[in-house]
Amino acid sequence: MEPDPKNALFIFALQNAVKHNSLPKSGTVIGMVMGKYPGFRSRAQEIALLAKEVLAEVEQLSPDERRKKLVDLAPELIEEMNAPKIHTHELPNLERAENGVVMRFAPNPSGPLHLGHARAAVLNDAYVERYGGRYILRIEDTDPKRVDPDAYRMVQEDIGWMGLRITDIFYQSDRFDQYYKIGGDLIGLGGAYVCTCENEQFRVLKQAKTPCPCRGHTIEENLELWQKMLDGAFYEGEASLRVRTSLDHPDPAMRDFPAFRILNEPMHPRIEAHVYPLMNFTVAVDDHLMGVTHVIRGKDHIANTRRQKFIYEYFGWNEPVYRHYGRMGIEGVVLSTSQMREGIRSGMYSGWEDIRLGTLRALARRGIQHEAVRQVVLDIGIGETDISFSWDNLFAKNRDIIDPVADRFFFVPDPVPFAIAGATAREAHALLHPGDGKKGYRTLKFEEDVVLPGQEFQNDVKMIRLKDLFNVTVDWSSGSPLLTYAGEALSDARAQKAPIVQWLPAEGATRCTLHSPDGDIQGLCENTVRTMQDKVVQFERVGFVRIDSVTDEGIIAYFCHK
Ligand code: GLU
């Protein structure tokens, strides 16, 4: 229900005056009231008049009177003002975390990390930061078909880029002997059996909730078969170790799921083995052995959590606290590692850093800062609701980080040469950063010939201002534009609504190719940009860009965002 508008305005005006110890502007108060009560928007005129009255009233009051009135009318607002500022997207607390946590980030080394990984990595990191404890990096490389030898290095690089506070590193490929031992222990507890059924035969039985013949083996028989498996008596597909679950489980994929399999020619880059543990087994065993207290991972792991709990139960281990966050749709980039790999192989993408991909290295190449990724991920949080990733949000966070520090330069896209009639040679001085005079100026020499962005000459423009230099008139009478010096006053340019354009001396600019997800732009930029390799700068009116390489041929830059 909407309150009386005058009252609402009065309260907001008081609150604002008390908070900032000065009288608010009427626009601020109106904005706040309309934001809270959108119904007032259709009554804008009336509200504006009331706001005037209200502000005049508040103005008459002393600071003490304002505070007293506010306490009378809306005590909750005083409390709100005194409360410590809480980040609106604060992560919820975790249960059983008060005495510290052990958490883990457990990527498969199948490629570099992407935005999906960043979510798991940062959320876990943030909780270790909050509660103290250990943060384990566990490289899950037990599926040789999904191991890319280069990924070991890339994953570490990406973790370094994200600044994760990793305290321990484990490679699952170093732990096979432990897995074999615990596999045997599980058999000993009656929790697993060696199954030599053909896959298809097992599948049919499983669908029918019928035990396969191997399920009836005694523990001794199973231990013997298990030893045979380890000794190499079976070929790929001939035997597996299965965890005994309930065959009535509503989800057939849960029924007697496999814990180990045999691979003939696995070609693992780090080890030689033919009996390979599967993810649900290694994750459960390692989470236990490593003392992991909290597992935060995506909803796509819910079924795995159920499987892993069977193993915990057989051994009587204490379960960690599990949290599963919702799915995150990310539009506009490719995230599937296999799709990315295929695209790179076919030449469609230039590599893992191709900016059409959602890898962290592709984001970094564009000038996205790791803190921006971290903040976005923390904002998204661990809620179970599926959400879509907002690029705008990422760009906004990134802009907050780079805008205060990025130097400004001119970049002229699609440059067209012009001679300016009537102007004397001079130097233009443009601030490196408009908000930070201490950074100084860059100097651009003007000597008659300049290059200007071709696109500015598409309509019948009469006057143009060359930024930080002077105005020119544009004469179209001969068909092609002729430019003549027209004074320096910015006010003239404003009065004529003259576009303010980037320009560069025709001699003394550097070729620059700007790659953006929408295509490449060829242009020229200031020579000083040659000293900016690996830095993020702003090409004025174009946007923030990262200077990727500087060679004799010119500069390669990547577009970040506006
Ligand atoms: N390595 C697996 C994955 O990346 C398991 C991770 C987990 O259990 O959190 O999907």
Query: Mapping DSSP to helix (H, G, I), strand (E, B) and coil, where does residue 67 land?
Result: helix
Please give the distance, rounded to the nearest whole angstrom, from the Cα atom of residue 179 to the centre of ligand 1: 17
307 lines ligand 1 (CB under 6 A): no
Two structure tokens written together for 47: 């509200």
244 lines ligand 1 (CB under 6 A): no
Which of 52-56, 290-294, 400-404 has the least mean pLDDT?
52-56
**Per residue in 146-199, pLDDT tens?**
999 999 999 999 999 999 999 999 999 999 999 999 999 999 999 999 999 999
Q: Do domains 177-279 and 406-562 have the same CATH topology?
A: no
Task: Kindly report the protein residue whose alpha carbon is nearest to atom 10 of ligand 1.
Answer: 107
Looking from the CA of residue 108, the nearest atom of ligand 1 is: 1
- Output the pLDDT for position 87: 43
- Output the pLDDT for position 100: 97
Rounded (10°) CA dihedral 228, 233, 235, 241: 0
134 lines ligand 1 (CB under 6 A): no
Task: Kindly report the protein residue whose alpha carbon is nearest to atom 6 of ligand 1.
Answer: 106
Task: Give the C-alpha separation, 208 to 67, whole Å.
Answer: 74
Nearest in space to 509 (alpha carbons), one of 441, 378, 410: 410
Thinking of the domain 406-562, which architecture would CATH place it in?
Beta Barrel (2.40)
**Per residue in 473-507, pLDDT tens?**
999 998 889 999 999 999 999 999 999 999 999 99
Mean pLDDT of the chain: 94
Task: Give the C-alpha separation, 302 to 306, whole Å.
Answer: 7
Residue ranges covered by each domain of the chain = 5-82, 177-279, 406-562
Mean pLDDT value across residues 521-536? 98
How remote is the C-alpha of 297 from its chain's centroid?
A: 16
- Output the pLDDT for position 25: 79
- Output the pLDDT for position 82: 65
- Output the pLDDT for position 266: 65
110 lines ligand 1 (CB under 6 A): no
**Contact, 373 vs 152, CB < 8 A?**
no
Task: Give the C-alpha separation, 435 to 367, whole Å.
Answer: 20
**Contact, 295 vs 323, CB < 8 A?**
yes
**Per residue in 260-291, pLDDT tens?**
999 998 689 999 999 999 999 999 999 999 99
Taken in order 166, 169, 170, 171, the sign of the CA dihedral is: positive
Task: Give the C-alpha separation, 233 to 434, whole Å.
Answer: 74
Please give the distance, rounded to the nearest whole angstrom, from the Cα atom of residue 503 to the centre of ligand 1: 52
Task: Give the C-alpha separation, 289 to 280, whole Å.
Answer: 14
Q: Whole-prediction pTM value?
A: 0.83
359 lines ligand 1 (CB under 6 A): no
Task: Give the C-alpha separation, 488 to 272, whole Å.
Answer: 76
Mean pLDDT value across residues 221-229? 98
Please give the distance, rounded to the nearest whole angstrom, from the Cα atom of residue 108 to the centre of ligand 1: 7
Decide if pLDDT at 85 tops 60.
no
Decide if pLDDT at 86 tops 60.
no
**Per residue in 303-324, pLDDT tens?**
999 999 999 999 999 999 999 9
Decide if pLDDT at 426 tops 70.
yes
Among 3.40.50.620, 2.60.120.10, 3.90.800.10, 3.40.50.2300, what is the CATH number of 177-279? 3.90.800.10
Task: Kindly report the protein residue whose alpha carbon is nearest to atom 4 of ligand 1.
Answer: 107
- Output the pLDDT for position 1: 61
256 lines ligand 1 (CB under 6 A): no
Looking from the CA of residue 300, the nearest atom of ligand 1 is: 10
Task: Give the C-alpha separation, 327 to 329, whole Å.
Answer: 6
